[in-house]
Structure formats: structure tokens, C-alpha cells
Amino acid sequence: MSTRRQVLALSAGAAAAGALYESPAVAEGVGREKRWIATWAAVPTTIPPAPPLVLEDQTVRQTVHVGVGGSQLRIRLTNEFGETPLRIGEVRVARRRVTFGGRTAVTVPAGAPIVSDPVDLRVPGGTNLVISMYLPDRTPVTTLAAFAFQDNVIADGNVTAARDVTPTGTIQQYLFLSGVSVLASGGAIVTLGDSITNGANTAANANHRWPDLLSARLGHSLGVANVGVSGNRLLHDPNPPAGSPAVGYAAYFGQSALRRFDRDVLAQPGAKFLIVLLGVNDLGHPGTSAPLDEVVGADDLIWGHRQLIARAHQAGLRAYGATVLPFKDDTLGFYSAENERKRSTLNRWIRTSGEYDAVIDFDAAVRDPGDPLRLRAAYDSGDHLHPNDAGMAAMAAAVPLRLFRI
């Protein structure tokens, strides 16, 4: 069976299973009161030290794949890494005009996000939503999510209300857009991670990231806010060695999980559950895209995970720890016998310490039975580190749905 057919088969079976689990709140006898729930997210980062993309008198049309549906929606725009105010001339979701405090045109202060007024638009769960943003002035793009695995387009003029546009450019990034929430019952799962959670090496426009496939298994009954960032580390911000190739891209890796936790996890509307998959870049980056003095031990990673657990519990979230995937013979230079020992120690702690509220064993789901230190060949995207679409489906299938009863 081809990889694509494997993914479709697994997804179809998972969706059927998810249909039995469509209303976890009802299953637990909780009322159907509605609240704002995060249904899509992207993590904003700054940009590398190079001339940015500049837009002027242009519309950015971006597509997001939502989890739970709702009767109204809100969007979150961001200028959090901008050094000057961001002027937005008009925003539409589908073809509905979006306002911000009653204004159709708005200026977002430097270093700040902005949340829209409620938009009366019924959004079905598991569907794509098109958001169009018009930028009238010369606008350097300094706040973005660099790895979208989704084709978004740029068009000339204010064409936010047009059914179809003529693209002048196509990008696989999210510009100035970091969240969508809907008015619905239930809650949200926040998936905190790196490129594997972000969706690295999956087919563009297919929504085969493991959090998307988990949402399908749940029948899109809960929101899923994917706050994975390619290259992200638990303990350190990007710090590329001077003169190394990483200077040209490391800024896209985002602030450390410890630093961004309040913004990217705790601030998600309706957040109830947290899944953490982090540590491989902390092991692999020193000596490749980070300096050697940032080498960490397994005890350092365990300390970082304990901090995430404590902060999640303090906010009332259930925290689930995911084991780090195998990466023997990866093409990025991460693997060594020492890093494998650290990974093994961290995974043993996640599995046996009892400090997380539950364990999601991604390692067991995707490793090669013949060589458990490697990814299974059928799940390997080719770099021996990132799962392919079938691997993402295997990861989603490994998540126990019982963990998400509200």
C-alpha cells in the first residue's frame, strides 16, 4: 500500500473511531455551555538578520484547518516581533468583514497581538477557513510562522472580498496570524512541540500533522491548538554560532518552550489539556545550529519538563508527556551514542516517574521493531528524524482518546 493510501486508511479508521467519541463533555455529564475555544494556532517568531519580505497595497490570503467548529469565531493577529506599528486596512474571514473594537481598519502596536470582535459565521469542525488581510502601507514582514505546510497566496490590491484572486506570490508561511477561536462547548488540547508537532516533511495542504489527525480521531469535538515550532528547544532560545549557516534560519526556531509557555499554551482560549513532545533539538542542536556550551544533560531536560508540568497544573491543565522519537543515523547530525543515552533516560522518566498526568508513547508507536533506535522505514520521511504522513497517522493513533474527557 502506498504511503498516501496508508495515511488515508488510518485517517478513515480513526475518524470512524472518533465518531463514537464525539461529545466528551456530554459523556461526563457536563453541561453544554459555550465558551471561546482555540481551534487553530500558529506560533509567531521573529526573522533572521536579512532583508524581510515587504508588502504594500497587497492582500495576504491564508488558509487554516480548524478542529472544533462553532457558531461564531474570533481571530488573533500578531505584531509581537514588529518594531513599528502594523497597519491593517481590512480583514475578512471567508467573505465576512472582521472588526476590531468596532473598527474595520486597525493599527496593531509594536510588540503586541490583537483579537477581533466576534464574527457571526458558523464554522463546521474539520474544515478549512480562508482569512484575507489587506496591507495598504509598506509593511516589512517581521512576525510570522515560517513553516506552514500550507500554500497561502499574496495578491495585489484590496481583494479581501473577492471570491477568487490572482496570486502574485505563493508562500508556505503564516504572516501576522496566530490564532482562531470559536464559540463552542468543550475545551482545547494544546500540543507543545517542535518540527514533528508542527508537521515537518508532511505533504503540503494535506493537514496530515499528527495534531490534525488526532482532531479527526476525536470527531473534531475539541479544539486543537498546534503550537509546535520547527527547531524549537525546551531550554534555549535560538543562538546560532556566528558565521554558521544557521544564522540564516535559526530565528525561525522560536523562543524556548519555557519562555513562550504563557503566550502559546496558557493564553489559548479554553485550554484544558497539554501534550508535550520536546527534547530532540536540545540534544541535537549544540554543535550543529547552536554552540557547544549549550549541551544539556537528561537531568536538565527533566528539570525543564517539570517546570512545564508545574505551570500547566497551576493553570488547571492536565499535562501529558510524549516520549521522544528515535533518530539513529539521522541526516542532520543529531545522533550520537551519548545523545541516545540522554533520550533513553528522558523517555524512561516520562514513562515511569508519574509526574505527567499520563504518557503518550510516540517512541513505541514509530520505532523499528528490528532496531528500536531507528524510525520504522514505513514511517520515515527520509531524514531518519521526521515521520512521514504515515508516521504522523501512527502517532495520532497512539494517543488514547480517554485522556480528553472533560
Provide the residue range defining the domain that includes 251: 3-33+186-404
Asked if the structure places residue 134 within a domain, the reply is yes
Determine which helix (DSSP H) or strand (DSSP E) holds 39, and give its type and residue range: strand 35-41
Is residue 344 in some structural domain? yes
Both 97 and 246 in one domain: the answer is no
Write out the three cell numbers for 276: 508535550
Instruction: Please check whether residue 8 lies inside any domain of the structure.
Output: yes
Rounded to whole angstroms, what are the CA distances from 205 to 68, 128, 167, 208?
A: 19, 10, 17, 8
Residue for grid cell 497581538: 113
Instruction: Please indicate, yes or no, if residue 323 is contained in any of the structural domains.
Output: yes
Could you tell me if 172 and 209 lie in one domain? no
Report how far apart, in Å, the C-alpha atoms of 230 and of each of 42, 158, 284, 372 are: 11, 32, 13, 24
Torsions phi, psi for 195 (to 5 deg)? -65, -30
Helix, strand, coil share of the chain (percent; to 5): 30, 30, 45
Q: Is 340 in the same domain as 215?
A: yes
Q: What is the pLDDT of residue 176?
A: 98
Q: Which of 148, 178, 208 is the last residue of a domain?
A: 178
Task: Pull the grid cell for residue 97.
Answer: 468583514
Which pLDDT belongs to residue 406? 82
Helices (H) and strands (E) in the chain, counts: 10, 23
Residue 165 lies in a domain: yes
Pairing of strands 106-108, 318-322: unpaired
Rg (CA), the chain: 20
- Interior angle at CA 2, CA 224 and CA 381, nearest 5: 60
- In this prediction the pTM is 0.92
User: Does residue 26 share a domain with residue 82?
Assistant: no
Taking phi first (over 0 means left), then psi (-120 to 50 degrees means alpha), and beta for anything else, what does residue 279 get? left
| Residues 352, 281 share a domain | yes
Q: Judge whether 47 lies within some domain.
A: no
CA distance 221 to 233: 30
Q: What is the pLDDT of residue 14?
A: 34
Contact 9, 397 (CB under 8 A): no
Q: Is residue 286 domain-shared with residue 229, that is, in the same domain? A: yes
CATH number of the domain bearing residue 339 = 3.40.50.1110
Per-residue exposure over 143-182, b if at least 16 CB sit within 10 Å of its own CB, e if not: bbbbbbbbebbbbeebbbeeeebeeeeebebbbbbbbbbb
Instruction: Kindly report, residue by residue over 220-251, the tens digit of the pLDDT.
Output: 999 999 999 999 999 999 999 999 999 999 99
The domain tally of the chain equals 2
pLDDT at residue 20, as a whole number:
28
Q: Where does residue 297 rank: exposed (0-12), middle (13-18), buried (19+ CB within 10 A)? A: middle
Question: Which of 155, 178, 201 marks a domain boundary?
Answer: 178
- Same-domain status, 29 and 57: no
Q: Are residues 11 and 74 in the same domain?
A: no
The ranges of the chain with pLDDT < 50 are 1-31
Would you say residue 38 lies in a domain?
A: no
